Amino acid sequence: MSHMCVNYKDKGFLSTKSVCESHDGYSWYKNTTLCYKFNLEPTIRQEGKQMCEHDGGRLVKIDSQKKQQSIVDMIVSTPELASVDHFWIGADDSQEEGVWRWTDGSLVEFSNWRAGRPNAGRVDEDYAAMEKASSYSWNDFRPQKEFVSLCEMVF
């Protein structure tokens, strides 16, 4: 399976980090301490998660307002992402309804939920995604939705 990815090396807001950029499709974003990659081919949540993990990364863990804003800045500054409406992130409550965790197992403490979300009691919407229509706040979705995956590599 081939994947289209956005590489930020030539976007003007990255400093070269050879360790980060030695991983296929990942680029260093200077306002954070992480490498990012967007898999532009929309996939269901599990496939997006597996694509990130295959490359040694994970779906992004957004654990602060600063990181949320850095990611939004990166998205809006990248022409290839202008038409993308949703991005899978690494939060879900699939193990226990109402208890949101990141893919590394840690609890979601910082959140940026859209008003009225997550849907308490909607047991079929267990996975979080950033949503362009609500200024990149988070919404909960069924895993069968096909969105772009936002991956990060942590060193």
Residue 142: per-residue pLDDT: 95
CA 5 – CA 149 distance, rounded (Å): 10
Report the candidate in 143, 113, 137 with the shortest Cα–Cα distance to residue 125. 143
- What is the distance in angstroms between the CA of the first residue and the CA of the last residue of the chain? 26
CATH number at residue 101: 3.10.100.10
Strand partners, 113: 138
Give the chain's domain count.
Answer: 1
Question: What pLDDT tens digit does each residue of the chain (155 aa) get?
Answer: 444 455 444 443 333 456 676 677 787 776 666 688 999 999 999 999 999 998 789 999 999 999 999 899 889 988 889 899 999 999 999 999 889 999 999 999 999 999 989 986 666 899 999 999 999 999 999 999 999 999 998 76
Residue 3: per-residue pLDDT: 46
Do 89 and 129 contact (CB within 8 A), yes or no? yes
Residue 31: per-residue pLDDT: 62
Task: Tell me the three-class secondary structure of 1-61, residue by residue.
Answer: CCCCEECCCCCCCCCCCHHHHCCCCCEECCCCCCEEEEEEEEECHHHHHHHHHHCCCEECC
Do 30 and 94 contact (CB within 8 A), yes or no? no
Residue 33, domain extent: 5-153
Query: Between the CA of residue 78 and those of 3, 6, 87, 123, 136, what are the distances in Å?
Result: 18, 9, 14, 34, 14
Count of CA atoms in the C-beta half-sphere (13 A) of 39 = 31
